[in-house]
Amino acid sequence: MPTRPLIVATGNPGKLREFRALLSDLPFELHGLGAHRVAVTTGGSLAELARSGMRFHRMSDRCARRDAAVPAADLVAAVRDNATNPWRPPGGGYEGALIHDVIHGLDITVPLGVDRPIPAQRLRTVLDGVTKPGSRKHFGVDLTGIELRADDLDWSFGTGTTVSGPARDLALLLCGRAVPLGRLAGTAAGRFSGGESS
């Protein structure tokens, strides 16, 4: 069976070993998000952005695909070397950097069924950030007639039919990700669910 790339971002060798152990029986090869994060955090991004028609996601995807050929140890070293870099996405500030790291971390851990604790205040910051008009427009999730309500945090957004679930899953939903089946509740939950349950 051919291997598929799995995007992982960690500067922690123990976490990398943990991911490798989790995936030992599955056809995955670890790399990618480290490359995306390195491209974003180490500079040179403006030239890359221009080459991608000023489309950030196109640039990120192109750079990650190109840099996926870089040995995993080099990617991990580059991420570790940039751990204290005060990187902020263009126009996003430190809140945007937090949202970026939390959401991409969940992109990895949720499909694997790994429970990654995120402090409540950070999740609240992420949820408040991704419900701002600019973020909602960027991600394009239609919340017409929907109230989102976290069942593990005192947080809600919108009005209408309630869709509830863990704050982390609501953050994924707000960023356009399909939440695994069975993790959201409410009559409209199916509108935002997909994939395998975890």
Cα(178)–Cα(188) distance, integer angstroms: 13
Question: Would you tell me the crossing angle of helices 33-41 and 72-81 to the nearest 10 degrees?
Answer: 40
Q: What is the pLDDT along the chain (198 residues), one digit of tens a residue?
A: 444 444 454 444 455 555 556 556 555 555 434 444 444 444 455 667 677 777 766 776 677 677 667 777 777 777 677 667 776 777 778 888 889 888 888 887 887 778 888 999 999 999 999 999 988 988 889 999 999 999 999 999 999 999 999 999 999 999 988 888 999 999 999 999 875 554
* The predicted structure's pLDDT at residue 131: 96
Which runs of consecutive H residues, i.e. helices, occur in 8-87?
Answer: 13-22, 33-41, 45-51, 56-67, 72-81
What whole-number distance in Å separates Cα of residue 169 and Cα of residue 12?
24
Report the amino acid identity of residue 5: P
Q: Which of 68, 95, 76 has its CA nearest to residue 4?
A: 68
Measured distance CA(124)–CA(88) in Å, rounded: 19
Domains in the chain and their CATH numbers? 1-87 (no CATH), 94-198 (3.30.1050)
For residue 32, the model assigns a pLDDT of 38
Which residues, listed in sequence order, are joined to residue 157 by a DSSP beta bridge? 148
